[in-house]
Structure formats: structure tokens, C-alpha cells
């Protein structure tokens, strides 16, 4: 019980495997999530070729197919981020599957949608990794950041792009208030780069102990600059300071993949193992 007799909310979990609204089919990979300023949760439902939208209490609101403008197909969506412009979002997806041993680049698309699912425009991009395609928004510089393999591609609103080569594969990506790029390498490390590709710092060691990482995926920041990481194979979501010092484990979740911070400091986490979404109330995120 909180002061004054108010009951503090518990975490909420919803989803599971299926084709009906509110269910997901992602087969263990590419389970992206973003939260808008008006507390709507956008989740990529990859193998159903759609994005689903939920309220901050887990109520299903609507969905839209991830149609590609100018194409007679819907793409498999992997990752989602909110645009700088209110009412819009960006989705990164792939047009088709390839065998994992293929050396051919996959046909990828970065598509802008309205929040109700109307496709606006697209940028085409070659995707090289098999499962790890991630997208984020650089709010400071109004650029869309795409992470794939060991490459970061930054798109301007007009479609022009620049690339940064990293030293590692990319599991998750986010941009901070200064426009720097933070990413997980999918193995054991979190790294921070400038937009020109200069590495600022890195932290993380492989292991199961507090502060150690095993296959980190999604990454996000809270309003204080704390770095929050989906520590996937350790089955927990961990918080670090802006300089990489371990703060604590926020929650234990089987196979966390995507993480997103809501405007009221709730944390939303997707699980690649259970194909569910969990909303962590702010008193558990920031006790």
C-alpha cells in the first residue's frame, strides 16, 4: 500500500502467440516496441506483418498492416520508433526471408506511417544480418537511425543517408540528447559513438553476475540519462548510469528483447521467448 491508502499498480503482461488481435507471431526475434507521448504502445508483430497498438494498461486499441508504399506487399516489421513529428512513426522491415547462410543482402524498407497506419513514404535499405534489424530516432538532428549487422545508417527526412561502421554487430540502438548513438553489440557490450563514428566509450563484460551481460538486445534511456538494457540471455532488464556503472536490475523477464520508456516513466518490455509485452510501472522502474 502506498501513502494515503493508494494501491501501487503491478506490472501488466499481455500477448502470447497467435494471429488474432492482441497476439503475436515473432518466432523468437525482432520484437520491437515504442511508446508515444500520449501513452500509446506500438509493437511490431513480425510474422503477422502488422503493427499493433495498445494503451498503457495493456488494452488492445488497433492494428495496421505494414504496407510498403508503391509495393504490392506488406513487409515483415522488425523495429519501430516514433518520429519527431507528432502523429507519425517509422518502421523498419524486410520484404521477404532468406536462408540464414545466404550472402545476398535482404530487401529492406524504412517506412513512415501515421499513428493510424497510413503509409506516407519509404526509404529502401539493404539489410545484411539475419535477425537483428533495429531503428531509432535522433530527435536532436531529426534523423532516422538504422542498425543492421555492424553498420549504422542515418537517414535525413529527404532520404539522403550517411553510414558509420562499428566494431561489433548491433543488437539494439538509441540516440541520446546530444545526438550520440548508443548500441548493444548483441554479445556482451554497450558502446557509445558520435555521429561521425568515433567511439566515446564502452562498458560490459560477459557473465551472469550483477552488471554483466549476455546477449544484450534492446536499449533505451530514461529522463535522467540512465541506460536501460534488455539483458536477454540473463533474463533480466538492467539499469546503468550514463557512464556505464551498474545501478540495479529493474525486472526479471524471460528473454527480454525490446525496451521503451513511456512519458510517465513506465517501462515497456517485449519478450522474444514468450511473445508477450510487459508494462513495468514507474515505481518499480524508479523506486
Per-residue pLDDT of 176-218, as tens digits, reads 999 999 999 878 999 999 988 899 999 999 999 999 999 999 9
Q: 220-269: per-residue pLDDT in tens?
A: 999 999 999 999 999 999 999 999 999 999 999 999 999 999 999 999 99
What is the mean pLDDT of the segment spanning 110-133? 87
Q: 136-158: per-residue pLDDT in tens?
A: 999 999 999 999 888 889 999 88
Q: Does domain 28-213 correspond to CATH entry 3.30.70.360?
A: no
Q: Is the pLDDT of residue 88 over 80?
A: yes
Residue 193, phi-psi category: left (phi > 0), alpha (psi -120 to 50), beta (remainder): beta
Placement of cell 541506460 in the chain: 227
Residue 19, phi-psi category: left (phi > 0), alpha (psi -120 to 50), beta (remainder): alpha
- Domain boundary assignment for the chain: 28-213
Is residue 136 within 8 Å of 143, Cβ to Cβ? no
Secondary element (H or E) of residue 284: helix 282-285
- Which pLDDT does position 127 carry in this prediction? 83
Q: 160-184: per-residue pLDDT in tens?
A: 888 887 777 889 999 999 999 999 9
Alpha carbons 219 and 174: distance in angstroms, whole number:
6
- Which pLDDT does position 105 carry in this prediction? 60
Placement of cell 550514463 in the chain: 242
- Which pLDDT does position 2 carry in this prediction? 46
Is residue 13 within 8 Å of 277, Cβ to Cβ? yes
Is residue 30 within 8 Å of 133, Cβ to Cβ? yes
Residue 24's pLDDT band (boundaries 50, 70, 90)? very high
Give the percent of the chain with pLDDT over 70.
93
- Which pLDDT does position 1 carry in this prediction? 43
- Torsions phi, psi for 5 (to 5 deg): 85, 5
Amino acid at each position: 500500500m502506498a501513502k494515503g491508502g493508494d494501491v501501487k499498480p503491478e506490472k501488466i503482461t499481455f500477448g502470447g502467440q497467435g494471429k488474432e488481435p492482441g497476439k503475436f507471431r515473432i518466432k523468437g526475434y525482432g520484437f520491437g516496441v515504442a511508446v508515444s507521448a500520449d501513452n500509446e504502445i506500438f509493437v511490431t508483430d513480425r510474422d503477422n506483418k502488422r503493427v499493433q497498438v495498445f494503451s498503457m494498461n495493456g488494452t488492445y486499441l488497433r492494428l495496421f498492416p505494414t504496407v510498403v508504399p508503391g509495393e504490392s506487399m506488406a513487409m515483415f516489421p522488425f523495429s519501430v520508433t516514433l518520429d519527431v513529428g507528432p502523429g507519425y512513426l517509422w518502421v523498419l522491415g524486410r520484404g521477404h526471408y532468406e536462408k540464414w547462410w545466404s550472402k545476398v543482402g535482404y530487401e529492406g524498407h524504412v517506412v513512415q506511417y501515421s499513428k493510424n497506419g497510413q503509409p506516407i513514404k519509404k526509404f529502401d535499405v539493404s539489410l545484411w544480418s539475419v535477425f537483428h534489424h533495429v531503428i531509432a530516432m535522433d530527435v536532436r538532428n531529426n534523423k532516422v537511425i538504422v542498425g543492421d549487422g555492424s553498420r549504422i545508417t542515418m537517414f535525413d527526412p529527404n532520404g539522403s543517408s550517411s553510414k558509420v561502421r562499428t566494431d561489433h554487430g548491433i543488437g539494439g540502438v538509441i540516440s541520446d540528447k546530444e545526438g550520440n548513438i548508443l548500441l548493444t553489440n548483441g554479445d556482451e557490450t554497450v558502446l557509445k559513438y558520435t555521429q561521425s563514428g568515433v567511439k566515446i566509450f564502452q562498458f560490459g563484460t560477459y557473465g551472469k553476475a550483477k552488471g554483466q551481460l549476455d546477449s544484450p538486445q534492446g536499449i533505451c534511456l530514461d529522463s535522467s540519462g540512465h541506460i536501460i538494457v534488455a539483458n536477454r540471455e540473463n533474463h533480466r532488464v538492467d539499469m546503468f548510469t550514463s557512464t556505464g556503472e551498474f545501478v540495479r536490475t529493474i525486472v526479471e523477464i524471460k528473454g527480454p528483447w525490446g525496451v521503451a520508456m513511456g512519458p510517465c516513466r513506465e517501462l515497456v518490455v517485449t519478450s522474444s521467448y514468450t511473445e508477450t509485452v510487459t508494462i513495468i510501472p514507474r515505481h518499480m522502474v524508479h523506486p
